[in-house]
Structure 1
Amino acid sequence: MKKLLTVSALVASVALSAGVATTASAADDNVRIATNVPYKPMEYAKPDGTLTGFDIDLGNALCKQAGLDCSWVRQGWNGIIPGLMARRYDAIMSSMTINEQRKKHVLFSNPYIVVPSAFFVPSGSPIDHISDEVLKGKKIGVQRGTVQDNYVTDKYGDIADITRYQNADDVAVDMAAGRLDLAFFDQITGQSALIDAHPGKYHQVGPSMTQPKKYFGSGFGIAFRKNEQDLADKFNKALAALKDNGTYAKIYKKYFHKAPPAGNGS
């Protein structure tokens, strides 16, 4: 859904990793997990401030299965890897795409869900497919610093007007105001922020996309510091157990109202 850190943020993460006092430690089975909200249905806050969503429920189930005492830390996206390097928390579970650029800086768990990306347009839009010709001169909205931002910038940046926003809700506002022709999100975010939030006003155009892997990676994973292989192993073992015992499928159905597809769980 999110999210590809900019080069400057990655450089900052390296700088912050040096000489910063430890404020969280996974050594005693107390694990602090960072997440960036709101991104329904993955991670968001209830009216009382309680965190919920697929990532939150799955993360809590993973911690229980692994016998870990976990707590959640709300963190802005641009600082989420630097915060991990600075030991303000021990893991990131926030719809983070596993890709080669990030793997240079963090250690990932096995993928826990694979989510395609897609274009979305207002109902009544003349755009009925995606091509260079169709997108020439069009205004495309994306969340800044995401894998979707990188993809459309590289592929259509020379022919389309790409506008970057802090979050999906801001994209939805400009779509509603007619300031954008289409938006490019991970499919879950587009479904939630546009189609579900505004019934009948938006729809997906073109295919769901998981290629090229250079941009869209191999799914969402939990990120750890590179020296936390033991902690990553605990989460991987717990994830396998939740898929085997049906807990993963139950959580998946709660948020997506269908059984998980092959590769996402039993």
Structure 2
Amino acid sequence: MSTRFGTRRGLLALLGVGVLAPAGFARAATTLDRIRESGVIRVGFANEAPYAYATAGGELTGESPTVFRHVMKRLGVARVDGVLTEWGALIPGLKAGRFDAIVASMYITPRRCRQILFANPTYGIGEALVVPAGNPEGLRDYADAVAKEAKVAFVAGTAEIEHARMAGLSRGQQLIVPDFASAFAAVKAGRASAAALTALTAGVLAQKDEAVERAEPFTFVHEGRSYRGEGSFGFRPEDTALRDAVNEELAGLIGTEEHLAMVAEFGFDATNLPEKTAEQHCAGE
């Protein structure tokens, strides 16, 4: 009986369904309590280097997992298990209980804040276009793409889509793909003139393949405001205790020598430190 109950209880916990604890069993009050009790947390990621990706050996790594593991250890959670998910399915997957956090360096935007909670940002970065080697169409930013009626590939659910629309890119010029590899492939195959990504992702892809390059310089200013994305970890709306505990640890970490050393191998340095809080991003400041 105890084995069957334990199996069913574990399954229901994964599905986010509450169960009544029998006498002698203490029920975890929050997600934070539960992960501390089990020593494990499942997180969603979307395979985007250098932010969060799986190595050839299947290890979850990148800026976001590295910082998150450090924070989890400080909170008494020894193991972080990754769940590979398409970018556009990260927020739905979190809300459905497939995992307990999004650890993919997701930009904090007002639209996303209406769906999930964000910890304070761990980094800041601009955007860039990946184009064929030699940049035959002379595309550097969204304004060039609009003027030349070029087709641009975007990963579904990314902030770059909204920014391009703000810059005037029509729906007909947008090629929406499920993941970053597909965006890269679209440029190489000639189905898109460029792919819109973060600056670091664009740089990583350009270094891996001589058939493409990162277009520079990239600028995007809308109504007098220059846009720079800042990203962090995402949590379900009810998981305020977990978010607050993570924020407390981040406050003593971000910007320290220890933090900069742990993210240096992924191409991050002091120029990538965040400038705002999650609350400010959620308010559209």
Same fold (TM over 0.5): yes
Q: In structure 2, what is the equivalent of residue 98 of structure 1?
A: 108
Q: CA separation of 1:210/1:62 partners in 2, compared to 1, >3 Å: closer, same or farther?
A: farther
How big is the shift at 1:41? 1.2
Q: In structure 2, what is the equivalent of residue 4 of structure 1?
A: none
The equivalences for 1:62-141 within 5 A come to 62-76=71-85, 77-124=87-134, 125-127=136-138, 129-130=140-141, 131=143, 135-141=147-153
The equivalences for 1:1-266 within 5 A come to 20-21=16-17, 25-28=31-34, 29=36, 30=39, 32-76=41-85, 77-124=87-134, 125-127=136-138, 129-130=140-141, 131=143, 135-158=147-170, 161-193=173-205, 195-199=206-210, 201-209=212-220, 219-243=230-254, 245-256=256-267, 259-261=269-271, 263-264=273-274
Q: Percent same amino acid among aligned pairs?
A: 21
The answer on whether the counterparts of 2:101 and 2:235 sit within 8 Å (CA) in structure 1 is yes
Letter in 2 for 1:178: G
SS class of match (2:123)? coil
- Structure with higher Rg: it is 2
TM-score (norm 2): 0.73
Counterpart-to-counterpart distance in 2, 1:214 and 1:232: 29
The answer on whether the counterparts of 2:71 and 2:246 sit within 8 Å (CA) in structure 1 is yes
Q: CA separation of 1:222/1:133 partners in 2, compared to 1, >3 Å: closer, same or farther?
A: closer
TM-score (norm 1): 0.78
- Encode CA deviations 1:124-166: one digit per residue, 9 max, x unaligned: 2241544368633212111122111222245334386221111
Gaps of 5+ in 1: 1-18
How big is the shift at 1:71? 2.1
Counterpart-to-counterpart distance in 1, 2:240 and 2:270: 27
How big is the shift at 1:98? 0.6
Letter in 2 for 1:147: A
How many residue pairs match? The answer is: 245
Which of structure 1's runs of 4+ aligned residues deviate more than 6 A? 210-215
Q: Which sits farther off after the overlay, 53-62 or 87-96?
A: 87-96
How big is the shift at 1:26? 2.5
SS class of match (1:226)? coil
Counterpart-to-counterpart distance in 2, 1:135 and 1:208: 15
Quote the RMSD (CA, aligned, Å). Answer: 3.2
- Encode CA deviations 1:194-238: one digit per residue, 9 max, x unaligned: x11114731323325586899967511211122222211211121
The answer on whether the counterparts of 1:84 and 1:92 sit within 8 Å (CA) in structure 2 is yes
